[in-house]
Amino acid sequence: MPNETGPDGRTALIATLFEDGVRANRDTLATMDAAIVTAADRLIDCLTHGGKVLSCGNGGSAGDAQHFSSELVNRFERERRALPAVALTTESSTLTAIANDYDYDRLFSRQIEALGRPGDTLLAISTSGNSGNVVQAIAAAHDAGMGVVALTGKDGGRMASILAADDIELRAVSTTTARIQEIHLLFIHCLCRLIEDHLLD
C-alpha cells in the first residue's frame, strides 16, 4: 500500500479538492450573502404565518431536501417548537405510483397539487437547474400560489428562467457537481440557523 505522501499523489489531490471547496464557498458568499438572508426571511414569514415548506430534488439533492425537512421538524441546534416541513422525496408508494401512472417529471408537481396551499413555500433543489421534475414542481408551486426558494448551480439552468419576480434563487458559484452539493448543504444550514435564531430571539 502506498504511504500517504507517496507517488500516487492522493494527498495532493485531497489538498486540491479542499482548495476548490474553499474557493467555491468564497465566491458564492460574495454573490449570495444578501440572498441567503432574503430567503431565510421568506421562510420565516411562511412558517410564522401558518405555512409549511415542501422540498424536493433528485439523488443527492433528494437527500438535501430530506435533511432540510428533518432539521425543521425536529431541531437544528437549539430547542424550539417543531416546524411544518415535508420532503416530497420519501413516500415510496406515492413516488412509484406517480412515476408509473403518469411520468417521472410529474413526481413532485403531483404532490404539490395535493399538498401545496397559498402561503406555503417550495424549496426546489437541483445542482444543474435542469431537473425536469423540479422544473415542473416550480410551475405547480406557482399555480398553487406558493413562493419558491431555488437552490441551483452552474448557470441556474431552466429553473432560473422560470422563477417569478418574488422567488429567490441561491446559486452555488461552481460548475462542479460535488462543490455545488457541498454549497447547497451550507445554504441549508445557514437557512436553518437563521430560522431558528429568529424563533428564539
Question: Mean pLDDT across the stretch 167-185?
Answer: 98
Question: Between the CA of residue 193 and those of 96, 143, 190, what are the distances in Å?
Answer: 34, 30, 5
133 is in an annotated binding site: no
Query: Looking at residues 2-28, what average pLDDT do you find?
Result: 86
Mean pLDDT within 63-83: 97
Is 25 marked as binding a ligand?
no
Q: 100 labelled as ligand-binding?
A: yes
Domains located in the chain, CATH noted: 7-200 (3.40.50.10490)
Tell whether residue 128 is among the known ligand binding residues.
yes
Is 71 part of any known ligand binding site?
yes
Instruction: Concatenate the DSSP letters of all residues of 73-116 into one string.
Output: HS-SSS------EEETT--HHHHHHHHHHS-GGGTTHHHHHHH-
Contact in structure between 162 and 42 (CB atoms under 8 Å): no
58 is in an annotated binding site: yes
Retrieve residue 7's grid coordinates: 507517488
Q: Is 184 annotated as a binding residue?
A: no
Q: Flag whether pLDDT at 50 surpasses 60.
A: yes
Bridge partner residues of 171 (DSSP)? 152
Give me the mean pLDDT over the 113-138 stretch: 98
Question: Is 74 annotated as ligand-binding?
Answer: no
Q: Quick one: pLDDT at residue 8?
A: 77
Residue type, 137: A
4 pLDDT above the threshold of 60: no
Q: Is 189 annotated as a binding residue?
A: yes
Closest CA to 45 of 200, 199, 201: 199
Instruction: Tell whether residue 9 is among the known ligand binding residues.
Output: no
Is 60 assigned a ligand-binding role in the annotation? yes
Contact at 8 Å (CB) between 172 and 179? Answer: yes
Residue 58 has pLDDT above 50, yes or no: yes
